[in-house]
Amino acid sequence: MSEKTLGEVKYSLDHENRFFYVERYDDLTKDKVYAEWEAMQKIEGFDPGYETIADYSRVSRVDLSAPDLIELNKEMPNHDPRTGNVAIVSGLTDGRYYLGKFFCTMANQFHKRKHQIFQTRIEAELWLYSLREKNK
């Protein structure tokens, strides 16, 4: 597994399992999501087809409004190079979970890859593995 930390975001590539991990430890804002999409393309060995687990359970504050989430979904095709499915980890906070659910509902309507929100990383990994089994 290869890892790189840029600011308060840790990026890890698990080539054996074809997973791209993103772990954020600072505030989650619209601008930081755009920066995250740009930064991931610069990670050595990045493969847009890998499935992603974006772990936001340790962010210090979520500052995303409904219009921000709509904009991110609208702009995703122009900024986010990934083609693999995306599992988002919210942690155990209900507000973060429901905000993520709102984002994923929109993303699943507008984009080909699947997005889903989970409270734990294990749930996220199991979901991604289950999708692989369905597509065999």
pLDDT in tens, 2-43: 888 888 999 999 999 999 999 999 999 999 999 999 999 999
CA distances to 16, 27, 76 from 1, in Å: 8, 26, 27
Q: In whole angstroms, give the CA distance from residue 92 to residue 117.
A: 11
pTM for the whole structure: 0.92
Q: d(Cα 91, Cα 72) in Å, to the nearest integer?
A: 21
Residue range 84-110, pLDDT digits in tens: 999 999 999 888 999 999 999 999 998
The total of other beta-carbon atoms located within 10 Å of residue 136's CB is 4
Residue ranges of domains in the chain, CATH in brackets: 2-134 (3.30.750.24)
